[in-house]
Amino acid sequence: MSRLRVVLEMIKFEHTVFALPFAFLGAFLAARGFPGWEVSFWILLAMIGARSSAMAMNRLADQAFDALNPRTRLRALPQGQVSATFVILFIVLSSALFFISAWMLNPLAFLLSPLALFIIFAYSYTKRFTSWSHLFLGLSLAIAPVGGWIATRGTLELQPFVIAVAVMFWVGGFDIIYACQDFEFDRRTGLKSLPVRFGIRNALYISIFFHLLMIASLLWALYLFKLSLISFIGMAIVAAALIYEHNLVKPDDLSKVNAAFFTLNGVISIVLLLFVGLDLCLFV
Protein backbone atom coordinates (compact mmCIF):
# COMPACT_ATOMS: atom_id res chain seq x y z
CA MET A 1 0.00 0.00 0.00
CA SER A 2 2.89 2.37 0.74
CA ARG A 3 4.30 1.72 -2.75
CA LEU A 4 0.84 2.27 -4.25
CA ARG A 5 0.64 5.65 -2.52
CA VAL A 6 4.05 6.53 -3.94
CA VAL A 7 2.91 5.59 -7.45
CA LEU A 8 -0.30 7.62 -7.15
CA GLU A 9 1.77 10.61 -6.08
CA MET A 10 4.24 9.92 -8.89
CA ILE A 11 1.56 9.97 -11.59
CA LYS A 12 -0.19 13.00 -10.05
CA PHE A 13 -3.48 11.13 -9.81
CA GLU A 14 -5.35 14.37 -9.00
CA HIS A 15 -4.51 15.71 -12.46
CA THR A 16 -7.03 13.32 -13.96
CA VAL A 17 -9.17 16.47 -13.75
CA PHE A 18 -7.62 17.66 -17.04
CA ALA A 19 -9.15 14.95 -19.24
CA LEU A 20 -12.04 13.58 -17.18
CA PRO A 21 -14.40 16.57 -17.64
CA PHE A 22 -13.98 16.34 -21.41
CA ALA A 23 -14.92 12.66 -21.40
CA PHE A 24 -18.11 13.58 -19.57
CA LEU A 25 -18.61 16.54 -21.90
CA GLY A 26 -18.62 14.13 -24.84
CA ALA A 27 -21.09 11.91 -22.97
CA PHE A 28 -23.41 14.81 -22.11
CA LEU A 29 -23.39 16.04 -25.72
CA ALA A 30 -24.13 12.53 -27.02
CA ALA A 31 -27.04 12.11 -24.61
CA ARG A 32 -28.19 15.75 -24.94
CA GLY A 33 -28.22 15.74 -21.15
CA PHE A 34 -27.15 13.47 -18.32
CA PRO A 35 -26.02 10.11 -19.80
CA GLY A 36 -27.15 8.07 -16.78
CA TRP A 37 -25.41 6.78 -13.67
CA GLU A 38 -24.28 3.43 -15.10
CA VAL A 39 -22.62 4.93 -18.16
CA SER A 40 -21.08 7.68 -16.02
CA PHE A 41 -19.67 5.12 -13.59
CA TRP A 42 -17.91 3.12 -16.31
CA ILE A 43 -16.65 6.28 -18.02
CA LEU A 44 -15.15 7.35 -14.70
CA LEU A 45 -13.38 4.00 -14.22
CA ALA A 46 -12.22 3.92 -17.85
CA MET A 47 -10.69 7.39 -17.55
CA ILE A 48 -8.98 6.56 -14.26
CA GLY A 49 -7.53 3.38 -15.78
CA ALA A 50 -6.38 5.00 -19.02
CA ARG A 51 -4.90 8.10 -17.43
CA SER A 52 -3.16 6.20 -14.63
CA SER A 53 -1.55 3.69 -17.00
CA ALA A 54 -0.49 6.47 -19.40
CA MET A 55 1.18 8.57 -16.70
CA ALA A 56 2.93 5.54 -15.18
CA MET A 57 4.19 4.62 -18.66
CA ASN A 58 5.47 8.17 -19.09
CA ARG A 59 7.39 8.00 -15.81
CA LEU A 60 8.79 4.60 -16.75
CA ALA A 61 9.89 5.73 -20.21
CA ASP A 62 11.49 8.93 -18.87
CA GLN A 63 13.15 7.56 -15.75
CA ALA A 64 16.70 7.92 -17.14
CA PHE A 65 16.07 11.54 -18.17
CA ASP A 66 14.26 12.30 -14.91
CA ALA A 67 17.31 11.13 -12.96
CA LEU A 68 19.46 13.73 -14.78
CA ASN A 69 17.01 16.64 -14.75
CA PRO A 70 17.31 18.86 -11.62
CA ARG A 71 13.56 19.53 -11.77
CA THR A 72 12.58 15.83 -11.79
CA ARG A 73 15.43 13.93 -10.14
CA LEU A 74 13.49 13.66 -6.85
CA ARG A 75 10.67 11.71 -8.49
CA ALA A 76 9.90 8.25 -7.13
CA LEU A 77 11.60 6.11 -9.81
CA PRO A 78 14.93 7.99 -9.93
CA GLN A 79 15.01 8.00 -6.12
CA GLY A 80 14.30 4.28 -5.91
CA GLN A 81 11.15 4.78 -3.82
CA VAL A 82 9.40 2.33 -6.11
CA SER A 83 10.76 -0.27 -8.53
CA ALA A 84 10.28 -0.40 -12.29
CA THR A 85 8.71 -3.84 -11.82
CA PHE A 86 6.06 -2.42 -9.51
CA VAL A 87 5.31 0.40 -11.97
CA ILE A 88 4.91 -2.13 -14.79
CA LEU A 89 2.47 -4.12 -12.63
CA PHE A 90 0.57 -0.90 -11.95
CA ILE A 91 0.41 -0.20 -15.70
CA VAL A 92 -0.94 -3.69 -16.40
CA LEU A 93 -3.63 -3.43 -13.72
CA SER A 94 -4.63 0.11 -14.75
CA SER A 95 -4.86 -0.98 -18.39
CA ALA A 96 -7.01 -3.94 -17.34
CA LEU A 97 -9.35 -1.54 -15.54
CA PHE A 98 -9.59 0.49 -18.74
CA PHE A 99 -10.34 -2.55 -20.92
CA ILE A 100 -12.93 -3.95 -18.49
CA SER A 101 -14.69 -0.58 -18.29
CA ALA A 102 -14.74 -0.29 -22.09
CA TRP A 103 -16.17 -3.82 -22.29
CA MET A 104 -18.94 -2.87 -19.85
CA LEU A 105 -19.85 0.19 -21.90
CA ASN A 106 -20.44 -1.24 -25.38
CA PRO A 107 -18.75 -3.32 -28.13
CA LEU A 108 -17.37 -0.34 -30.07
CA ALA A 109 -15.78 1.16 -26.95
CA PHE A 110 -14.06 -2.14 -26.26
CA LEU A 111 -13.00 -2.61 -29.90
CA LEU A 112 -11.31 0.80 -30.01
CA SER A 113 -9.79 0.64 -26.52
CA PRO A 114 -6.43 -0.89 -27.63
CA LEU A 115 -6.00 1.91 -30.19
CA ALA A 116 -6.68 4.54 -27.53
CA LEU A 117 -4.16 2.97 -25.17
CA PHE A 118 -1.55 2.70 -27.94
CA ILE A 119 -1.86 6.44 -28.68
CA ILE A 120 -1.52 7.55 -25.07
CA PHE A 121 1.42 5.19 -24.49
CA ALA A 122 3.20 6.34 -27.66
CA TYR A 123 3.25 9.97 -26.50
CA SER A 124 5.96 9.16 -23.93
CA TYR A 125 8.47 8.53 -26.75
CA THR A 126 7.60 11.40 -29.12
CA LYS A 127 9.98 13.89 -27.45
CA ARG A 128 12.83 11.80 -28.80
CA PHE A 129 12.03 12.43 -32.48
CA THR A 130 9.69 15.42 -32.95
CA SER A 131 9.44 18.97 -31.67
CA TRP A 132 5.67 18.76 -32.05
CA SER A 133 5.21 16.24 -29.25
CA HIS A 134 2.95 18.80 -27.52
CA LEU A 135 0.27 18.17 -30.13
CA PHE A 136 0.68 14.42 -29.70
CA LEU A 137 -0.03 14.88 -25.99
CA GLY A 138 -3.03 16.94 -27.09
CA LEU A 139 -4.16 14.05 -29.29
CA SER A 140 -3.88 11.70 -26.31
CA LEU A 141 -6.30 13.80 -24.27
CA ALA A 142 -8.46 14.58 -27.32
CA ILE A 143 -9.53 10.93 -27.23
CA ALA A 144 -11.55 11.74 -24.08
CA PRO A 145 -14.57 13.54 -25.61
CA VAL A 146 -14.75 11.07 -28.50
CA GLY A 147 -14.57 8.23 -25.99
CA GLY A 148 -17.35 9.76 -23.91
CA TRP A 149 -19.51 10.03 -27.02
CA ILE A 150 -18.87 6.41 -28.02
CA ALA A 151 -19.49 5.24 -24.45
CA THR A 152 -22.93 6.86 -24.53
CA ARG A 153 -24.13 6.18 -28.07
CA GLY A 154 -22.08 3.16 -29.08
CA THR A 155 -21.37 4.77 -32.45
CA LEU A 156 -18.50 6.76 -33.96
CA GLU A 157 -19.68 10.05 -35.50
CA LEU A 158 -18.06 13.29 -36.62
CA GLN A 159 -19.60 15.71 -34.09
CA PRO A 160 -17.38 14.97 -31.07
CA PHE A 161 -14.24 15.46 -33.15
CA VAL A 162 -14.87 19.21 -33.05
CA ILE A 163 -14.46 19.05 -29.27
CA ALA A 164 -11.46 16.76 -29.75
CA VAL A 165 -9.73 19.36 -31.93
CA ALA A 166 -10.33 21.98 -29.23
CA VAL A 167 -8.84 19.69 -26.58
CA MET A 168 -5.81 18.89 -28.75
CA PHE A 169 -4.90 22.57 -29.20
CA TRP A 170 -5.72 23.41 -25.58
CA VAL A 171 -3.39 20.71 -24.25
CA GLY A 172 -0.74 21.41 -26.88
CA GLY A 173 -0.77 25.08 -25.90
CA PHE A 174 -0.36 24.59 -22.18
CA ASP A 175 2.21 21.80 -22.64
CA ILE A 176 4.40 24.24 -24.56
CA ILE A 177 4.29 26.54 -21.54
CA TYR A 178 5.21 23.66 -19.23
CA ALA A 179 8.08 22.57 -21.50
CA CYS A 180 9.71 25.99 -21.23
CA GLN A 181 10.93 24.96 -17.76
CA ASP A 182 13.15 22.28 -19.30
CA PHE A 183 14.54 24.38 -22.14
CA GLU A 184 18.20 24.10 -21.10
CA PHE A 185 17.98 20.44 -20.08
CA ASP A 186 16.16 19.39 -23.26
CA ARG A 187 18.63 21.23 -25.46
CA ARG A 188 21.59 19.68 -23.65
CA THR A 189 20.24 16.11 -23.77
CA GLY A 190 18.80 16.19 -27.29
CA LEU A 191 15.12 15.99 -26.31
CA LYS A 192 12.89 17.86 -28.72
CA SER A 193 10.29 20.54 -28.00
CA LEU A 194 9.03 23.75 -29.57
CA PRO A 195 10.88 25.91 -27.01
CA VAL A 196 14.13 24.15 -28.00
CA ARG A 197 13.40 24.44 -31.72
CA PHE A 198 12.15 28.04 -31.87
CA GLY A 199 13.21 29.56 -28.55
CA ILE A 200 11.03 30.28 -25.53
CA ARG A 201 9.59 33.56 -26.79
CA ASN A 202 8.48 32.16 -30.15
CA ALA A 203 7.19 28.98 -28.51
CA LEU A 204 4.96 31.07 -26.24
CA TYR A 205 3.57 32.81 -29.34
CA ILE A 206 2.78 29.37 -30.81
CA SER A 207 1.05 28.49 -27.53
CA ILE A 208 -1.14 31.59 -27.87
CA PHE A 209 -1.97 30.58 -31.45
CA PHE A 210 -2.92 27.07 -30.34
CA HIS A 211 -5.25 28.50 -27.70
CA LEU A 212 -6.87 30.78 -30.26
CA LEU A 213 -7.53 27.68 -32.37
CA MET A 214 -9.02 26.04 -29.28
CA ILE A 215 -11.41 28.95 -28.76
CA ALA A 216 -12.41 28.89 -32.44
CA SER A 217 -13.07 25.13 -32.28
CA LEU A 218 -15.18 25.48 -29.12
CA LEU A 219 -17.25 28.27 -30.64
CA TRP A 220 -17.85 26.07 -33.68
CA ALA A 221 -18.89 23.24 -31.35
CA LEU A 222 -21.31 25.47 -29.42
CA TYR A 223 -22.93 26.45 -32.72
CA LEU A 224 -22.90 22.88 -34.07
CA PHE A 225 -24.66 21.50 -30.99
CA LYS A 226 -27.10 24.46 -30.88
CA LEU A 227 -26.29 25.38 -27.29
CA SER A 228 -27.68 28.43 -25.51
CA LEU A 229 -26.30 31.53 -23.82
CA ILE A 230 -25.19 29.68 -20.69
CA SER A 231 -22.64 27.68 -22.70
CA PHE A 232 -21.31 30.89 -24.24
CA ILE A 233 -20.90 32.36 -20.74
CA GLY A 234 -18.80 29.32 -19.83
CA MET A 235 -16.83 29.85 -23.04
CA ALA A 236 -16.17 33.47 -22.03
CA ILE A 237 -14.82 32.31 -18.64
CA VAL A 238 -12.54 29.83 -20.40
CA ALA A 239 -11.24 32.56 -22.71
CA ALA A 240 -10.59 34.86 -19.74
CA ALA A 241 -8.70 32.07 -17.94
CA LEU A 242 -6.51 31.50 -21.00
CA ILE A 243 -5.71 35.20 -21.27
CA TYR A 244 -4.75 35.24 -17.60
CA GLU A 245 -2.65 32.09 -18.10
CA HIS A 246 -0.59 33.73 -20.82
CA ASN A 247 -0.17 36.89 -18.76
CA LEU A 248 1.37 34.82 -15.96
CA VAL A 249 4.22 33.47 -18.09
CA LYS A 250 6.91 35.63 -19.67
CA PRO A 251 9.96 34.53 -21.70
CA ASP A 252 12.25 35.91 -18.98
CA ASP A 253 10.08 34.88 -16.01
CA LEU A 254 8.84 31.28 -15.77
CA SER A 255 8.29 31.35 -12.01
CA LYS A 256 4.51 31.05 -12.37
CA VAL A 257 4.45 28.17 -14.82
CA ASN A 258 2.96 25.76 -12.28
CA ALA A 259 0.05 28.10 -11.54
CA ALA A 260 -0.57 28.53 -15.26
CA PHE A 261 -0.28 24.81 -15.97
CA PHE A 262 -2.04 23.09 -13.09
CA THR A 263 -4.50 25.48 -11.45
CA LEU A 264 -5.89 27.38 -14.41
CA ASN A 265 -6.19 24.42 -16.76
CA GLY A 266 -7.99 22.38 -14.12
CA VAL A 267 -10.45 25.26 -13.78
CA ILE A 268 -10.91 25.50 -17.56
CA SER A 269 -11.97 21.87 -18.03
CA ILE A 270 -14.34 21.88 -15.05
CA VAL A 271 -15.96 25.21 -15.97
CA LEU A 272 -16.64 24.05 -19.51
CA LEU A 273 -18.27 20.82 -18.31
CA LEU A 274 -20.38 22.62 -15.68
CA PHE A 275 -21.74 25.29 -18.01
CA VAL A 276 -22.35 23.05 -21.04
CA GLY A 277 -23.73 20.25 -18.84
CA LEU A 278 -26.12 22.67 -17.12
CA ASP A 279 -27.14 24.04 -20.50
CA LEU A 280 -27.90 20.56 -21.84
CA CYS A 281 -29.79 19.45 -18.74
CA LEU A 282 -31.91 22.59 -18.29
CA PHE A 283 -32.37 24.26 -21.64
CA VAL A 284 -31.96 21.74 -24.46
Local confidence band at 77 (pLDDT 50, 70, 90 cut-offs): confident
Statement: residue 75 has pLDDT above 90 = no
Taking only the tens place, the pLDDT of each residue in 107-158 is 999 999 999 999 999 999 999 999 999 999 999 999 999 999 999 999 999 9
Quote the pLDDT of residue 74: 83
- Rounded to an integer, the average pLDDT of 172-192 is 92
Tell me the CB-side half-sphere exposure of residue 27, using CA atoms within 13 A.
Answer: 28
- Rounded to an integer, the average pLDDT of 203-227 is 95
Quote the pLDDT of residue 17: 67
Query: How far is Cα 229 from Cα 237, in angstroms, rounded to an integer?
Result: 13
Which residue type is seen at 178? Y
Query: How far is Cα 206 from Cα 204, in angstroms, rounded to an integer?
Result: 5
Nearest alpha carbon to residue 23 among 269, 224, 221, 239: 269
Statement: residue 95 has pLDDT above 70 = yes
SS3 132: coil
Cβ count within 10 A of residue 43: 25
- Rounded to an integer, the average pLDDT of 209-220 is 96
CB 233 within 8 Å of CB 275: yes
Distances (CA, A) of 131 to 135, 187, 195, 212, 283: 9, 11, 8, 20, 43
The torsion angles phi and psi of 86, rounded to 5 degrees, stand at -65, -40
The reported pTM is 0.92
Quote the pLDDT of residue 254: 78
- Rounded to an integer, the average pLDDT of 185-192 is 92
Statement: residue 163 has pLDDT above 80 = yes
Quote the pLDDT of residue 14: 60
* Domains recognised in the chain with CATH numbers: 2-283 (1.10.357.140)
Quote the pLDDT of residue 281: 86
Determine what percent of the chain is predicted with pLDDT higher than 70: 92
